[in-house]
């Protein structure tokens, strides 16, 4: 089988080419999907994560937007005023890379890609309101972003800070913590370096507690995503404790503040450890070349996971002693250590080797005492010198804490520390502030000006937007804005003296942190959005996208919404009421004998299930199904599929078989199967249409048995498919539609009531497939004689009376094993059920003359005879 799809051209076929183009034009001409605020109607905001205009749409987009479109069209039919917009996440590094490689300006490259992808999306027949289209690289968009940033700055939510930052050596820019995955840049995969720079930060930690606690209320979010965010925010309870420092002569060196989650083990302290980047260490290093060397050595050690795991604990003894806050006269040595992170807590810890693995390793290496202060609750003896005891237990060797369990000891010791004024109970978050400066061109300029006399000053409102200059060069690495001859030279808005414009641009995750708000009034020039419009449409009722944004984009958006609330732009807390994360689109991988990857078009399946290369018939190794990616060449172009099979086929295949949250394997057979079903539907409907009563024929007074059976199937389909769509069980909805189609196909419409029921069934069927295969549905709706558009027609309502059967099939079990089934009237009394079951010959044979000990009857379900 060649993987080049060949849709055979036989007569009497559904011509999807003409039909899809026809209805797309009708929808566009009539502005069917244009949304307008209407306070009299309930709204529903459906949004799929907007694409980065990388060049062409891929199958992941097709899946994402198909799912969103099913929801949008369904909700629309259910009577909601639906907002379903589309835009472009248009700033980003690929545009700059293209500029360097292909000598094309990022702006040109981006807008050309947008044009291409827009055409592609339109060919999918999505129910989008294109009048709200936006691109984040448009100054009419990012001017509002600059203004909001200035407001946040004024409100203390944005600040500049010198700190050790993550530097991506390939992209030549800093990265936020969220963008470092296992010590590597999220885009480039290059090991991240440490650099000390002054950068802009947004105070996401200000909302740490709220961002965490509100997760519980996001009931329509996947549990998995909420969990990932909770872990990322990483709340831990503990205490900050102050230790008085002296040198050997007893001279006061101030207080050292440490953070611990185990204040209950304070009596087991045997050393203090400071991060190599701790200010105190920096101070001491000034006159200590050995310490300088140690600090430099620590800096060299990478942050990559593998390195961290194998790196040996290293310490450098400082000329200091720390006075134990609870044990007068007891002092412990102070070290600088490579395993203490400056970014977490206070950058300093107390070492308790008995009950912490790292401290144990460190103490063993440097010969420090290992004290046991917690014992197993069951009295088991342990060798604390051999291994630390990390579990909970009973506190020992700890003065007033002795005999308490760990939790109780924590509260007692915190209370004592607070009483004495040497510590306090605190909550520590893993979450760090969001570093938003990027040393790149193709992003939103940060609206700030550096003046030698006035410091860093905001760009005045009247000068917004700060627009990117077009005349930039990409002939060498570094930030083109920084080397632009004139752009950065401006007068200080405060004193008028020559000053320098900020040349960093914003992290592009800012662009995507509020675009859903902008969609509510995309043309407004005076503000990011109109309050009334925004209040009507927001929050997004259903957001759909990839799980890879579980932390980055989704957490940033939740932060941005809160920052806007802080500056009184909105009163909302959360942007997304419902979230759905769809799975990836995968495909088999193919490898030629020389090890190179082959595309699905370059291979052919031959006799015996073997695969060969088309060009030279050489054998091909078939690899496991993986996410479609250019590097492995296992990609299928949506354009080609839509051209050869039509948008409805692509959409149908995307929805069938695999549950939407799971990975989907793209197969040629699956697509042709979906295509055949479209054709079959067209045939079934066309055949059934002959001899049907015209639309609007009055309902017959009585129905034949066949007619009633068909009507039951139809109305059960409505109920089932509605539930399935609401629950995102599109694959189940598809299965039900297959069943319903099979039922319709098997009906012989001989009497008038069956003919009426057949028309009813067809009309229902067409409306049910509407959200999934809208073009075919619209075509059949038209063929059924309707003047209005299906897209404007309401969702069918099931007749409750037809949803329940009068007879039910009840299973008969003997000792829990199926022996047969009986037909009973619905809700038949238990004794009737029992009697009928016992009369079943298969049961009697199994009983073999024995008397039942007990009979369990579950109405309408099962009769279990126990012997």
With CB under 7 A as the contact rule, which of the stretches 230-238, 243-251, 374-382, 503-511 interacts with RNA? Answer: 230-238
Position among 140, 629, 708, 821 found at the interface with RNA (CB under 7 A): 821
Please tell me whether the peptide bond between 539 and the residue prior to it is cis, using omega within 30 degrees of 0.
Answer: yes
Radius of gyration of the chain (CA): 34
Token pair for 237: 């309870």
Q: Is 738 in the site for RNA (CB under 7 A)?
A: yes
Position among 25, 154, 424, 845 found at the interface with RNA (CB under 7 A): 845
Residues from 824 through 843 that contact RNA (CB under 7 A)? 842
Q: Least distance (Å) from RNA to the CB of residue 764?
A: 18
* Strand, helix or coil for residue 73: helix
- Tell me whether strands 585-591 and 597-598 are parallel, antiparallel or unpaired: antiparallel
Position among 308, 614, 709, 789 found at the interface with RNA (CB under 7 A): 308
Position among 31, 816, 825, 831 found at the interface with RNA (CB under 7 A): 816
Toward RNA, which CB reaches closer, 161 or 237?
A: 237
CB atoms within 10 A of CB 40: 5
CB half-sphere exposure, 752, CA atoms < 13 A: 8
C-beta of residue 441 within 8 angstroms of C-beta of residue 506? no
* Alpha carbons 405 and 403: distance in angstroms, whole number: 7
Residues in a beta bridge with 165: 195
* Strand, helix or coil for residue 766: helix
Q: Least distance (Å) from RNA to the CB of residue 490?
A: 39
Toward RNA, which CB reaches closer, 19 or 678?
A: 678
Q: Least distance (Å) from RNA to the CB of residue 784?
A: 20
Q: Is 234 in the site for RNA (CB under 7 A)?
A: yes
Residues from 162 through 181 that contact RNA (CB under 7 A)? 181
C-beta of residue 524 within 8 angstroms of C-beta of residue 478? no
Q: Least distance (Å) from RNA to the CB of residue 61?
A: 20
Q: Which of 503, 497, 464, 467 is nearest to 485 (CA)?
A: 503
Toward RNA, which CB reaches closer, 109 or 677?
A: 677
Q: Is 343 in the site for RNA (CB under 7 A)?
A: yes
Q: Least distance (Å) from RNA to the CB of residue 860?
A: 8
Toward RNA, which CB reaches closer, 531 or 830?
A: 830
Q: Is 427 in the site for RNA (CB under 7 A)?
A: no
Q: Least distance (Å) from RNA to the CB of residue 590?
A: 17
Residue 763: partners with Cβ closer than 8 Å, 6 or more residues away: 784, 796
Q: 3-state SS of 711-727?
A: HHHHHHHHHHHHHHHHC
Q: Is 358 in the site for RNA (CB under 7 A)?
A: yes
With CB under 7 A as the contact rule, which of the stretches 201-209, 659-667, 756-764, 776-784 interacts with RNA? Answer: 659-667
With CB under 7 A as the contact rule, which of the stretches 40-48, 212-220, 434-442, 856-864 interacts with RNA? Answer: 856-864
Position among 36, 227, 415, 527 found at the interface with RNA (CB under 7 A): 227
Q: What CA–CA distances, in Å, run from 525 to 64, 143, 528?
A: 31, 9, 7
* Site of tokens 């291979």: 603
Residues from 679 through 698 that contact RNA (CB under 7 A)? 679-680, 683
Q: Least distance (Å) from RNA to the CB of residue 227?
A: 6
C-beta of residue 231 within 8 angstroms of C-beta of residue 253? no
Toward RNA, which CB reaches closer, 120 or 338?
A: 338
Q: Is 649 in the site for RNA (CB under 7 A)?
A: no
Q: Least distance (Å) from RNA to the CB of residue 286?
A: 23
Q: Is 746 in the site for RNA (CB under 7 A)?
A: yes
Position among 97, 188, 246, 261 found at the interface with RNA (CB under 7 A): 261
Q: Which of 503, 498, 500 is nearest to 449 (CA)?
A: 500
Q: Is 60 in the site for RNA (CB under 7 A)?
A: no
Q: How many residues of this chain bind RNA (CB under 7 A)? A: 88
Position among 18, 28, 38, 182 found at the interface with RNA (CB under 7 A): 182
Q: Is 677 in the site for RNA (CB under 7 A)?
A: yes
Q: How many helices (H) and strands (E) does the chain have?
A: 26, 35
How many residues in total does the chain contain? 867
* Alpha carbons 15 and 671: distance in angstroms, whole number: 17
* Site of tokens 């984009």: 553
Residues in a beta bridge with 161: 199
Toward RNA, which CB reaches closer, 573 or 739?
A: 739
Position among 731, 751, 799, 802 found at the interface with RNA (CB under 7 A): 731
* Alpha carbons 493 and 453: distance in angstroms, whole number: 11
Toward RNA, which CB reaches closer, 228 or 789?
A: 228
Position among 176, 269, 422, 734 found at the interface with RNA (CB under 7 A): 734
Q: Which of 70, 400, 362 is nearest to 263 (CA)?
A: 400
C-beta of residue 55 within 8 angstroms of C-beta of residue 101? no
What are all long-range contacts of 310-316, with beta carbons under 8 Å and residues at least 24 apart?
A: 311/338, 311/339, 312/365, 313/337, 313/338, 313/339, 313/358, 313/361, 313/362, 313/365, 314/338, 314/339, 315/273, 315/362, 315/365, 315/366, 316/290, 316/291
Residues from 539 through 558 that contact RNA (CB under 7 A)? 547, 551
Return the ∠ at Cα 751 (arms to 747 and 755), rounded to 5°: 55
Token pair for 106: 């990022």
Residue 570: partners with Cβ closer than 8 Å, 6 or more residues away: 517, 531, 534, 535, 538, 561, 564
Position among 408, 745, 752, 799 found at the interface with RNA (CB under 7 A): 745
* Strand, helix or coil for residue 388: coil
Token pair for 272: 């203090």
Q: Is 2 in the site for RNA (CB under 7 A)?
A: no
Position among 577, 604, 663, 752 found at the interface with RNA (CB under 7 A): 663
Q: Least distance (Å) from RNA to the CB of residue 336?
A: 12
Residues from 583 through 622 that contact RNA (CB under 7 A)? none
Position among 428, 561, 649, 753 found at the interface with RNA (CB under 7 A): 428
C-beta of residue 515 within 8 angstroms of C-beta of residue 136? yes
Token pair for 81: 């005023």
Position among 220, 365, 610, 676 found at the interface with RNA (CB under 7 A): 676
Toward RNA, which CB reaches closer, 163 or 308?
A: 308
Q: Is 732 in the site for RNA (CB under 7 A)?
A: yes
Q: Is 305 in the site for RNA (CB under 7 A)?
A: yes
Residues from 456 through 515 that contact RNA (CB under 7 A)? none
Position among 204, 340, 563, 636 found at the interface with RNA (CB under 7 A): 340
Residues from 10 through 39 that contact RNA (CB under 7 A)? 10
Q: Least distance (Å) from RNA to the CB of residue 283?
A: 18
Q: Is 858 in the site for RNA (CB under 7 A)?
A: yes
With CB under 7 A as the contact rule, which of the stretches 123-131, 565-573, 593-601, 661-669 interacts with RNA? Answer: 661-669
Q: Is 813 in the site for RNA (CB under 7 A)?
A: yes
Residue 521: partners with Cβ closer than 8 Å, 6 or more residues away: 529, 530, 533, 534
Q: Least distance (Å) from RNA to the CB of residue 806?
A: 15
With CB under 7 A as the contact rule, which of the stretches 72-80, 203-211, 254-262, 694-702 interacts with RNA? Answer: 254-262
Position among 341, 427, 695, 825 found at the interface with RNA (CB under 7 A): 341
C-beta of residue 333 within 8 angstroms of C-beta of residue 317? yes
Q: Is 669 in the site for RNA (CB under 7 A)?
A: yes
Toward RNA, which CB reaches closer, 401 or 551?
A: 551
Toward RNA, which CB reaches closer, 469 or 673?
A: 673
Q: Is 811 in the site for RNA (CB under 7 A)?
A: yes
Q: What CA–CA distances, in Å, run from 666 to 680, 753, 813?
A: 22, 43, 42
* Alpha carbons 633 and 600: distance in angstroms, whole number: 8
Q: Is 854 in the site for RNA (CB under 7 A)?
A: yes
């Amino acid at each position: 089988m060649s993987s080049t799809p060949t849709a055979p051209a036989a007569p009497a076929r559904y011509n999807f080419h003409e039909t899809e183009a026809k209805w797309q034009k009708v929808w566009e001409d009539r502005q069917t999907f244009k949304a307008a605020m209407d306070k009299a109607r309930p709204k529903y905001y459906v949004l799929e994560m907007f694409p980065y205009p990388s060049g062409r749409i891929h199958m992941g987009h097709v899946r994402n937007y198909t799912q969103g479109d099913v929801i949008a069209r369904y909700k629309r039919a259910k009577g909601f005023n639906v907002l379903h917009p589309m835009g472009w996440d248009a700033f980003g590094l690929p545009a700059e890379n293209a500029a360097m490689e292909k000598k094309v300006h990022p702006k040109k490259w981006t807008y050309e890609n947008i044009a291409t992808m827009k055409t592609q999306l339109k060919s999918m027949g999505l129910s989008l309101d294109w009048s709200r289209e936006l691109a984040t690289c448009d100054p009419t968009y990012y001017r509002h972003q600059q203004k909001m940033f200035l407001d946040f700055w004024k409100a203390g939510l944005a600040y500049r800070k010198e700190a050790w930052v993550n530097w991506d050596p390939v992209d030549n820019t800093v990265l936020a913590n969220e963008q470092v995955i296992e010590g590597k840049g999220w885009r480039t995969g290059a090991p991240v370096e440490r650099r000390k720079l002054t950068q802009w930060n947004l105070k996401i930690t200000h909302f740490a507690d709220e961002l965490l606690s509100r997760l519980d209320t996001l009931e329509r979010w996947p549990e998995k995503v909420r969990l990932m965010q909770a872990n990322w925010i990483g709340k831990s309870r503990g205490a900050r404790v102050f230790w008085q420092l002296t040198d050997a002569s007893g001279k006061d060196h101030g207080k050292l503040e440490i953070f611990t989650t185990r204040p209950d083990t304070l009596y087991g302290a045997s050393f203090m450890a400071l991060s190599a980047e701790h200010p105190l260490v920096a101070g001491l290093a000034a006159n200590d070349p050995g310490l300088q060397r140690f600090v430099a050595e620590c800096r060299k050690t990478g942050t990559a996971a593998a390195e961290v795991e194998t790196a040996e604990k290293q310490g450098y003894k400082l000329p200091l002693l720390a006075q134990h806050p609870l044990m007068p006269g007891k002092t412990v040595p102070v070290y600088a250590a490579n395993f203490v992170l400056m970014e977490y807590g206070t950058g300093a810890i107390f070492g308790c080797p008995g009950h912490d693995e790292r401290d144990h390793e460190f103490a063993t290496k440097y010969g420090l005492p290992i004290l046991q202060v917690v014992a197993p609750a069951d009295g088991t003896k342990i060798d604390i010198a051999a291994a630390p005891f990390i579990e909970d237990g009973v506190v020992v060797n700890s003065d007033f804490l002795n005999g308490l369990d760990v939790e109780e000891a924590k509260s007692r010791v915190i209370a004592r520390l607070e009483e004495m004024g040497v510590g306090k109970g605190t909550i520590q978050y893993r979450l760090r502030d969001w570093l938003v400066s990027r040393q790149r061109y193709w992003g939103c300029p940060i609206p700030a000006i550096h003046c030698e006399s006035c410091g860093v000053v905001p760009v005045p409102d009247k000068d917004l937007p700060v627009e990117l200059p077009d005349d930039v060069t990409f002939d060498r690495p570094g930030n083109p804005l920084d080397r632009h001859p004139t752009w950065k030279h401006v007068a200080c808005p405060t004193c008028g003296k020559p000053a320098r414009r900020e040349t960093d641009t914003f992290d592009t995750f800012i662009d995507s942190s509020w675009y859903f708000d902008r969609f509510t009034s995309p043309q407004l020039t005076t503000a990011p959005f109109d309050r009334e419009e925004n209040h009507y449409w927001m929050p997004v009722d259903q957001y759909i996208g990839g799980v890879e944004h579980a932390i980055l984009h989704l957490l940033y958006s939740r932060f941005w919404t809160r920052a806007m609330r802080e500056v009184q732009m909105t009163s909302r807390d959360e942007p997304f009421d419902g979230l759905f994360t769809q799975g990836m689109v995968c495909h088999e991988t193919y490898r030629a004998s020389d090890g190179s990857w082959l595309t699905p078009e370059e291979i052919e399946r031959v006799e015996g299930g073997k695969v060969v290369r088309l060009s030279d018939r050489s054998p091909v190794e078939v690899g496991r199904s993986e996410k479609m990616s250019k590097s492995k060449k296992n990609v299928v172009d949506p354009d080609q599929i839509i051209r050869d099979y039509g948008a409805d086929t692509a959409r149908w295949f995307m929805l069938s078989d695999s549950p939407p949250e799971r990975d989907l394997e793209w197969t040629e057979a699956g697509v042709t199967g979906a295509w055949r079903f479209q054709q079959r539907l067209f045939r079934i409907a066309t055949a059934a249409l002959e001899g049907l009563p015209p639309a609007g024929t009055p309902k017959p007074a009585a129905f034949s048995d066949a007619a009633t059976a068909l009507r039951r199937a139809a109305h059960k389909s409505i109920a089932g498919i509605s539930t399935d769509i609401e629950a995102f069980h599109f694959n189940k909805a598809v299965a039900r539609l297959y069943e319903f189609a099979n039922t319709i196909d098997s009906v012989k419409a001989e009497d008038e009531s069956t003919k009426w029921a057949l028309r009813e069934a067809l009309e229902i069927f067409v409306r049910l497939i509407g959200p999934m295969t809208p073009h075919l549905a619209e075509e059949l709706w038209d063929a059924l004689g309707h003047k209005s558009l299906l897209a404007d027609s309401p969702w069918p309502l099931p007749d409750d009376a037809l949803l329940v059967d009068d007879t039910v099939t009840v299973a008969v079990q003997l000792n829990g094993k199926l022996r047969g089934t009986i037909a009973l009237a619905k809700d038949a009394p238990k004794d009737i059920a029992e009697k009928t079951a016992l009369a079943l010959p298969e049961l009697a044979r199994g009983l073999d003359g024995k008397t039942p000990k007990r009979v369990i009857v579950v109405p309408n379900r099962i009769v279990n005879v126990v012997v």
